[in-house]
Amino acid sequence: MKHIKYILLSAVVLGFTACNDVEDVLEANGETTETTMLPELNAGDLDFSTYVALGASYTAGYSDGAVFKAAQEKSFPKLLATKFAAVGGGDFKQPLRNDNTGGMLLNGVVSSAYRLIFNGAAPQRLNDFLTSNGLPVPPITTDASEVIEGPFNNMGVPGAKSYTINYPGYGTLDPDFGRMASSPGATILGDATSQNPTFFTVFGVGGNDVLSYAYTGGIATDQTGNPDPSTYSPIDITAPAVFNASYDAIVSQLTANGAKGALGNLPYVTVMPFFTTVPNNALVLDATQAAGLTGVFQAVSGIFLQGAILQGVPAETAQALAAQYLIEFNEGPNRWIIDVPVTQTNPLGFRQMTEDELVLLTIDQAALAEQGYGSVALTDDVLQVLGILQAGGTPTQAQAGLVLASVNGIDDGYVLDSDELASIKNATDAYNSKVGELASENGLALVDFKGLIDQGATGLTSGDFTLTTALVTGGLFGLDGIHLTSRGYAFMANEFMKALDSTYDTNFEASGNLLDIGEYPTNYSPMLP
């Protein structure tokens, strides 16, 4: 037994010696074995007992082109609520869908599509992917006509605009709100404030006021000078005066009983991958192709010039107008041709894109690559007329018309031109000015989401992960190119907590209570139950 004791004592001594050796090595490398004691999580002067989140699709947890249960459970307000629970936060109820299809029925008829999945090559609707692979398609089990019982802490309503947040009966127009509204005549804001929140977040209000316009290529109207939203189409840009009045009402009603909260400003939607994935200079030509296309536009210019002069347009004026159609192409990347409104200064209604203009993700990329969409559709008949011109002949009026008609510009609904981009930027800047003003006046936390997304092109870092705005591979945006991934929403929740720390003396970050965004997915399996 004595020998055993000596052996045990030797082992203990060796253990202490080994520990000392490790400490010596660490200290020599400038490291330490001391454990840093993090402070206890502190809510400061915030009361999280009744947290209500007001907003649109970003607040709802919309992702991959749809609302579905798995993503809703990782909405940024839900993730915040899980952290708030440790410092007095109460239950957080969401209007969850019944399944993960992403689709929704309205009186038994499909009213919204299945979610997007990544098929290994591109985003694809779940039902199309499963069908093409001979797999069963899960049924849509959520019907908007089946009203669910609230109240709901997550008052994010996809599709809502600033002026519909306080619109009585909006549930009759928007199935997502209709499903969760407290009554047929309820308002989103009314259902939110009726819960007497002690803390709130407002994010995404105003996003749809420009997004619907941008999403449809600016084919609608910029209503900046029109204060009457009842005259708007569903895809018009909302006047800043209308947004301001709506946002004033939201903040004043949410803070009426002393509640505190956080606001998020709006990014430029045009930096999202829906608008940046398809390059505007992807018309890649070899030297022969470039010379051929240049020749076509020389023919177009010449035909237009002759026609204008025959119609009595002064020669100098006709030459100036015709010159804009002398578009030259080079070997390598070239910018697309787009359709524009026919005007006196552009009678043929097309031009080449400029560097800043954007092509939408919804464009037919196969047509761009194979059918002359965005340049010239060269048929045998057109080639025959070009041959006549090259030989010094004079084509008939009908033949000349074939050449002019061969210019195959991208439709206006699939591009955002410089004027449309300016409208979107100006409206967003005006909205953000009001958001910042109200945050300052009411002592509310402000998350600069615009600034964050602007940084997304080069990368946003959280822990061991870097997120970018690249479609599919970036990790920040989902497969629709507009809404965030669940990992992106986790990043966003962290930014809200950081804003609370700097405004209300909470200590989410210092106490180690930020989310590990790596625990949240960037996409979901097609077979997700």
Render 6-61 in DSSP notation, one character per residue. HHHHHHHHHHHHHHHHHHHHHHHTT---PPP-PPPP--TT---SSEEEEESHHHHT
- The secondary structure of 240-252 as a DSSP string is HHHHHHHHHHHHH
Domain range 51-276+420-519, CATH class: alpha beta
Q: How confident is the model over 103-131, as pLDDT tens digits?
A: 999 999 999 999 999 999 999 999 999 99
Q: Is 352 helix (H, G, I), strand (E, B) or coil?
A: strand
Mean pLDDT, the chain, rounded, equals 93
Closest Cα partner for 354 from 281, 422, 277, 284?
A: 281
What's the confidence (pLDDT) of residue 301? 97
For tokens 């050796």, name the residue. Answer: 21
pLDDT of residue 22 exceeding 90: no
What share of the chain has pLDDT > 70, as a percent? Answer: 93
What's the confidence (pLDDT) of residue 445? 98
What's the confidence (pLDDT) of residue 369? 81
What's the confidence (pLDDT) of residue 400? 94
What's the confidence (pLDDT) of residue 16? 34
Neighbours of 451 (CB within 10 A): 10
Label residue 36 by pLDDT band (50, 70, 90): confident
What's the confidence (pLDDT) of residue 436? 98
Q: How confident is the model over 160-193, as pLDDT tens digits?
A: 999 999 999 999 999 999 999 999 999 999 999 9
* 486 contacts: CB under 8 Å, gap ≥ 6: 61, 63, 70, 71, 74, 520, 521, 522
CA–CA separation, 287 and 282 (whole Å): 15
- C-alpha distances in angstroms, 384 versus 48, 75, 129, 399? 75, 59, 43, 9
Q: Which token pair is 356? A: 């800043």
* Contact of 246 with 205, CB cutoff 8 Å: yes
Choice between 22 and 389, residue whose per-residue pLDDT is larger? 389
What share of the chain has pLDDT > 90, as a percent? Answer: 91
pLDDT of residue 18 exceeding 50: no
What's the confidence (pLDDT) of residue 47? 98
Peptide bond before 151: cis, by omega within 30 degrees of 0?
yes
Helices (H) and strands (E) in the chain, counts: 18, 19
What's the confidence (pLDDT) of residue 529? 74
CA–CA separation, 205 and 243 (whole Å): 9
* Chain Cα centroid distance, residue 219: 19
- The mean pLDDT value for 282-304 works out to 96
Q: Which token pair is 331? A: 């070997």
Q: How confident is the model over 441-457, as pLDDT tens digits?
A: 999 999 999 999 999 98
* 186 contacts: CB under 8 Å, gap ≥ 6: 168, 169, 170, 171
Q: Which token pair is 265? A: 């400003």
What's the confidence (pLDDT) of residue 29? 55
Where are the strands (E) in 172-323, listed by range? 199-203, 260-264, 283-285
* 6 contacts: CB under 8 Å, gap ≥ 6: none
Neighbours of 127 (CB within 10 A): 20
For 460, the enclosing helix (H) or strand (E) is: strand 460-462
What's the confidence (pLDDT) of residue 27? 52
What's the confidence (pLDDT) of residue 76? 98
* Chain Cα centroid distance, residue 319: 44
Q: How confident is the model over 136-155, as pLDDT tens digits?
A: 999 999 999 998 999 999 99
Q: How confident is the model over 377-420, as pLDDT tens digits?
A: 999 999 999 999 999 999 999 999 999 999 999 999 999 999 99
Q: How confident is the model over 37-66, as pLDDT tens digits?
A: 899 999 999 999 999 999 999 999 999 999
Where are the strands (E) in 147-259, listed by range? 154-156, 199-203
Q: How confident is the model over 325-351, as pLDDT tens digits?
A: 999 999 999 999 999 999 999 999 999
- The mean pLDDT value for 507-526 works out to 97
- The mean pLDDT value for 471-480 works out to 97
Domain residue spans of the chain: 1-33, 51-276+420-519, 283-416
- The mean pLDDT value for 354-360 works out to 97
Q: How confident is the model over 72-97, as pLDDT tens digits?
A: 999 999 999 999 999 999 999 999 99
The pTM of this model reads: 0.91
Based on its alpha-carbon atoms, the radius of gyration of the chain, rounded to whole angstroms, reads: 30
Q: How confident is the model over 196-230, as pLDDT tens digits?
A: 999 999 999 999 999 999 999 999 999 999 999 99
pLDDT of residue 30 exceeding 70: no
Give ∠ CA 367-368-371 in degrees, rounded to 5. 50
